[in-house]
Chains A and B, each alone.
Chain A
Amino acid sequence: MPDLNKMTIAEARDALARGDVSSVELTEACLAEIEGAAALNAFVHNTPQIALEQARAADARIAAGEAAAMTGIPIGIKDLFCTQGVPSQAGSAILEGFRPEYESTVSQNLKDAGAVMLGKLNMDEFAMGSSNETSVYGDAVNPWKVDDRRLTPGGSSGGSAAAVAADLCLAATGTDTGGSIRQPAAFTGITGLKPTYGRCSRWGIVAFASSLDQAGPMTKTVRDAAIMFGAMAGHDPKDSTSADLPVPDFEAMLSGDIRGKKIGIPGEYRMEGMPQEIEKLWSDGAVMLRDAGAEIVDISLPHTKYALPAYYVIAPAEASSNLARYDGVRFGHRAKLAQGDGITEMYEKTRAEGFGPEVQRRVMIGTYVLSAGFYDAYYNRARKVRALIKKDFDDVFAAGVDAILTPATPSAAFGLGEMTDADPVQMYLNDVFTVTVNLAGLPGIAVPTGLDKSGLPLGLQLIGRPWQEGDLLNTAQVLEQAAGFVSKPDKWW
């Protein structure tokens, strides 16, 4: 048996079922690893007591023959999910001390399936960032290292990615508004699935951009993603945008057979100045799928170029509205007021102290594009472009394409601090391959398929038809197995 913390969900589940291991043992192994991994700054609120209690309950449940999909599996939860009685700060100072009185639907679903919560995971503040450098907790650090530099695990789900890649937990939850599951997964050599918009309830997840946000699993394998996703998904009356559709057994859909599937290669994703190794990774991936019996076809998604600018209108616009609730009245931080300060000063000082620079920037951009006189020119135009981006995908799927293969990121992980002096737009370019998927509400998955010349992981992205995550996961698993990516970071922390 491998080290317990290094197990996949599937391995642990089977070992638990056989009685070879207990959930308490698995949980203790993970807690010990977390204890020794402070240098990664992945876990920011540890909940060992809750974890051990849940592990004992899981062991009893397994003994009683009532195990569900995730029973006894120790996982980490992104700080964006509200967890009852446990700090849930969305990586922000403005939610310091906030302990929700309720549990997010997704984390509740995982709890109900028997999962064990080890703690909360680091992330970019309010999920706004691609490097985990905007977090109030400080940078999360990528367990992958090839020289003296500390590398970013990506963002915004950087803590989740680092924790899974470093085997601090068996899997973690993430959320993805423009690439926040897939980009960090690619940077750390793990699997990350962003489901179809509406598949997982957003209730109790701190909102960034409500029309784009979606929760998903971050795991060591595609099979694990299928298992965990099944436990997270489902209709929720508390989220009016959650889809009332049955959740299939995604794991059972991993047939390994993709013969006859049509895989599209979008020409527009061949960006100018794309590193040669990314290009090679991509064409190698296409060959792997072809060798497995899929048909590879060139496709066109003509509005791709406009996805990022449309995103940087729509996401800040929604954020400016969603983040209006942080006013120092109902929860979180309130600034100390000077003599004579009224309620407006309270709002302004609270938000200036509580929000970091990137969040302030996006809230203000959002405020601007929604303000009188600019609403049509920016916001409505962006929503029209969004409709065209979605139509690009609709057309391709209508032409019989089953999935689309693209790179997950334009590069491997970069060094923490290296982008500090770049203008914000440079950082935004990290999401160039992923953001279209959120705008079109589609499922997308990042799978590690290779290493760059320095030895850092690189991933490919597969984009699927709406609600066809089972099919997408099946194709992803074929790619995963053909690529045979088994590299792990050497432990230095």
Chain B
Amino acid sequence: MSIDTQTARRVAKLARIKVEDEALPALAEEFSAILGFIEQLNEVDVEGVEPMTSVTPMRLKRREDVVTDGDQQEKILANAPDAREGFFAVPKVVE
């Protein structure tokens, strides 16, 4: 499948990665090459096969529904690029 620059632009947008317009054609070409490679999967007969959800037949463990963690605001904010008054700070979201 061939990817056009329009699709490349849309994918970059969905992935929240800024790609300059002049970089889009090369990106589209790379996508096309990779997707062309992936396309081989269409040769496989998957009729009646369930998609794998877990590689080991294991039941997920359950635990008591209780709070086991918390009270570490300082640690959580320690690596933030911008933390103020106990919060993460971001550019204005609501006009």
Q: Which residues on A sit within 8 Å (CB–CB) of B54?
A: 211, 241
Q: Which residues on A sit within 8 Å (CB–CB) of B40?
A: 305-306, 309
Q: Which of A237, A312, A360 makes the CB contact (< 8 A) with B17? A: A360
Q: Is the CB of A425 within 8 A of B11?
A: no
- In the assembled complex, B30 has its CB within 8 A of some CB on chain A: yes
In chain A between 238 and 266, which residues have their CB closer than 8 angstroms to a CB of chain B?
Answer: 240-241, 243-244
Q: Is the CB of A367 within 8 A of B37?
A: no
Q: Which residues on B sit within 8 Å (CB–CB) of A81?
A: none
Residue of B nearest to A366 (CB): B15
Q: Is the CB of B93 within 8 A of A424?
A: no
Q: Is the CB of B34 within 8 A of A425?
A: yes
Stretch with Cβ within 8 A of B (4 or more), from A148-156, A166-174, A327-335: A327-335
Q: Is the CB of A306 within 8 A of B56?
A: no
Nearest CB of A to B56, in Å? 5
Q: Which residues on A sit within 8 Å (CB–CB) of B42?
A: 381
Nearest CB of A to B86, in Å? 14
Most-contacted residue by chain A among B16, B35, B75 (CB, 10 A): B16
Q: Is the CB of B52 within 8 A of A387?
A: yes
Main SS class of interface, B: loop
Residue of A nearest to B38 (CB): A309
- In the assembled complex, B44 has its CB within 8 A of some CB on chain A: yes
Nearest CB of B to A359, in Å? 9
Most-contacted residue by chain A among B7, B46, B93 (CB, 10 A): B46
In chain B between 28 and 50, which residues have their CB closer than 8 angstroms to a CB of chain A?
Answer: 30-31, 33-35, 37-44, 46, 49-50
Q: Is the CB of B41 within 8 A of A385?
A: yes
- In the assembled complex, B51 has its CB within 8 A of some CB on chain A: yes
Alpha-carbon distance A308/B90, docked complex (angstroms):
40
Q: Which of B51, B75, B81 makes the CB contact (< 8 A) with A101? A: B75
Nearest CB of B to A172, in Å? 25
Alpha-carbon distance A331/B50, docked complex (angstroms):
38
Pairs of residues from A and B, 6 with the lowest C-beta to C-beta distance, nearest first: A441-B55, A383-B51, A334-B81, A331-B79, A348-B18, A352-B18
